[in-house]
């Protein structure tokens, strides 16, 4: 069977992002975990041509229009984004600490994306996922969906995985979005059962009732998946085929903003593995990408500041 050219659908929610500056002024842009990953993957693999699509729902207001244009400007296709009359995007404010750590404050209870897979147009949207060779989804993606939308998406993802589509899952756990850890764990483990790769932080392992020392044993239950345990500025841990290895992170002298560090890491790692790099090499390049992101404010850093971690010769194979 001929391999599909690499195309990936990123499922999730992009929001209006407000940042509070030190002088009290507020700046506006757009961000969200899966969109951040989409934008960085499109940049890192730009020689492939258009290969990243965003899957979501937004409103019919001027801010939704501006958001969709922002996606296109980042090289991310918006043809699979539903427009829902009378709805609006969600919104969040980032408050930064002097250390570069951030705190998020959200307004998203009636966001358009919450009924993405049960509203008008969702049948066609779910069917269209079959044209991609890979799909990326996060814990936030599934947390913001209403139960009916979530169930329809899970059934479709399992069907696609059985047919050979690579499902990549970044746990991205946000406690405020979940009723309890038991519900979260059950849904995560359902996804783990058909995921090709699982990206999780050291802190998120606790949601699964394990820790770094016991992670390899825990993930034996999902032998088809390779696992990346992210740990901020510390080495990441790879669990691939039962083997465990670590890859040191790059040292950053001055961290400005950690927003989207993990998202950019995921983009580089998944692209690297898709291009045929060994897990350790993919992780090294992912660390390089994340190290650049934390040196700048905001989720999406200037394009010129994004490191070129993949050569044209490496990326051209993905479009074949």
pLDDT confidence of residue 318: 66
pLDDT at 25 over 80: yes
Q: Cβ-count burial of 294 within 10 angstroms (0-12 exposed, 13-18 middle, 19+ buried)?
A: buried
| Cα–Cα distance measured from residue 60 to residue 82, given in angstroms and rounded to the nearest whole number | 10
pLDDT confidence of residue 132: 98
Backbone angles phi, psi at 145, to 5 degrees: -75, 145
In a domain, 316, yes or no: no
Write down the residue that tokens 């692209």 correspond to: 271
Beta strands in 188-276 (DSSP E): 197-201, 226-230, 236-240, 243-247
Q: What is the pLDDT of residues 190-199, one digit of tens each?
A: 999 999 999 9
Q: Are strands 226-230 and 236-240 parallel, antiparallel or unpaired?
A: antiparallel
| Cα–Cα distance measured from residue 83 to residue 224, given in angstroms and rounded to the nearest whole number | 36
Please answer whether residues 73 and 302 qualify as being in contact, where contact means their C-beta atoms are separated by less than 8 angstroms. Answer: no
Instruction: Give the pLDDT band of residue 3 (cuts 50, 70, 90).
Output: low
In a domain, 69, yes or no: yes
Task: Count the domains in the chain.
Answer: 1
pLDDT confidence of residue 320: 58
Higher pLDDT, 231 or 319: 231
73 classed as catalytic: no
Q: At what angle do helices 279-293 and 33-44 cross, to 10 degrees?
A: 110
In a domain, 253, yes or no: yes
pLDDT confidence of residue 319: 60
pLDDT at 138 over 60: yes
Mean pLDDT for the stretch of residues 30-59 = 95
| Cα–Cα distance measured from residue 9 to residue 80, given in angstroms and rounded to the nearest whole number | 9
pLDDT at 29 over 80: yes
In a domain, 178, yes or no: yes
Instruction: Give the pLDDT band of residue 27 (cuts 50, 70, 90).
Output: confident
Backbone angles phi, psi at 129, to 5 degrees: -60, -20
In a domain, 314, yes or no: no
pLDDT at 47 over 60: yes
Which CATH number is 112's domain given? 3.40.1190.20
Give residue 11's Cα distance to chain centre.
8
| Cα–Cα distance measured from residue 252 to residue 275, given in angstroms and rounded to the nearest whole number | 27
pLDDT at 250 over 90: yes
* Element of type H or E holding 82: strand 77-83
Integer CA distances (angstroms), 316 to 45, 312, 313, in order: 9, 6, 6
pLDDT confidence of residue 317: 65
Share of the chain above pLDDT 90, in %: 78
In a domain, 157, yes or no: yes
Provide the 3-class DSSP secondary structure of residue 166. strand
Mean pLDDT for the stretch of residues 91-119 = 80
Strand order, beta sheet including 26-31:
26-31, 15-20, 91-96, 102-107
Please answer whether residues 79 and 73 qualify as being in contact, where contact means their C-beta atoms are separated by less than 8 angstroms. Answer: no
Please answer whether residues 115 and 137 qualify as being in contact, where contact means their C-beta atoms are separated by less than 8 angstroms. Answer: no
pLDDT at 1 over 50: no
Nearest one of 206, 207, 211 to 143, comparing CA atoms? 207
Nearest one of 232, 237, 231, 185 to 206, comparing CA atoms? 185
In a domain, 143, yes or no: yes
Q: Which structural domain, as residue segments, surrounds residue 171?
A: 8-307
Q: What is the pLDDT of residues 168-182, one digit of tens each?
A: 999 999 998 999 999
| Cα–Cα distance measured from residue 269 to residue 287, given in angstroms and rounded to the nearest whole number | 9
pLDDT confidence of residue 21: 75
pLDDT at 2 over 60: no
| Cα–Cα distance measured from residue 183 to residue 303, given in angstroms and rounded to the nearest whole number | 38
Average pLDDT taken over every residue of the chain: 92
In a domain, 312, yes or no: no
Residue 183 CB: number of other CB atoms within 10 A? 11
Q: What is the pLDDT of residues 251-305, one digit of tens each?
A: 999 998 888 999 999 999 999 999 999 999 999 999 999 999 999 988 899 999 9
Write down the residue that tokens 């400005």 correspond to: 256
Please answer whether residues 52 and 75 qualify as being in contact, where contact means their C-beta atoms are separated by less than 8 angstroms. Answer: yes
């Amino acid at each position: 069977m001929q391999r599909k050219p690499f195309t990936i659908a990123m499922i999730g929610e992009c929001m209006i992002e407000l940042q509070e500056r030190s002088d009290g002024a507020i700046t506006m842009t757009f961000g969200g975990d899966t969109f951040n990953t989409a934008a960085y993957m499109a940049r890192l693999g730009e020689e492939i041509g258009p290969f990243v699509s965003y899957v979501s729902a937004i409103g019919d207001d001027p801010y939704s229009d501006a958001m969709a244009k922002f996606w296109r400007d980042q090289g991310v296709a918006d043809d699979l984004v539903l427009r829902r009359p009378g709805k609006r995007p969600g919104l969040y404010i980032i408050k930064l600490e002097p250390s570069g750590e951030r705190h998020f404050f959200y307004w998203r209870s009636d966001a358009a994306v919450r009924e993405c897979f049960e509203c008008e147009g969702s049948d066609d949207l779910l069917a269209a996922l079959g044209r991609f060779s890979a799909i990326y989804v996060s814990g936030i993606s599934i947390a913001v969906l209403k139960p009916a939308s979530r169930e329809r998406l899970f059934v479709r993802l399992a069907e696609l995985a059985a047919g050979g589509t690579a499902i990549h899952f970044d746990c991205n756990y946000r406690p405020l979005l979940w009723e309890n850890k038991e519900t979260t764990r059950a849904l995560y483990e359902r996804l783990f059962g058909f995921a090709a790769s699982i990206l999780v932080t050291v802190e998120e392992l606790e949601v699964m009732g394990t820790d770094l020392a016991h992670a390899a044993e825990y993930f034996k239950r999902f032998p088809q998946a390779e696992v990346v345990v992210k740990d901020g500025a510390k080495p990441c841990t790879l669990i691939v085929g039962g083997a465990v290895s670590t890859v040191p992170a790059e040292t950053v002298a001055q961290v400005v903003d950690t927003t989207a560090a993990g998202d950019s890491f995921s983009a580089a790692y998944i692209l690297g593995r898709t291009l045929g790099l060994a897990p350790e090499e993919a992780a090294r390049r992912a660390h390089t990408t994340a190290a650049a992101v934390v040196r700048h404010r905001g989720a999406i850093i200037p394009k010129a500041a994004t490191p070129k971690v993949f050569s044209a010769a490496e990326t051209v194979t993905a479009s074949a």
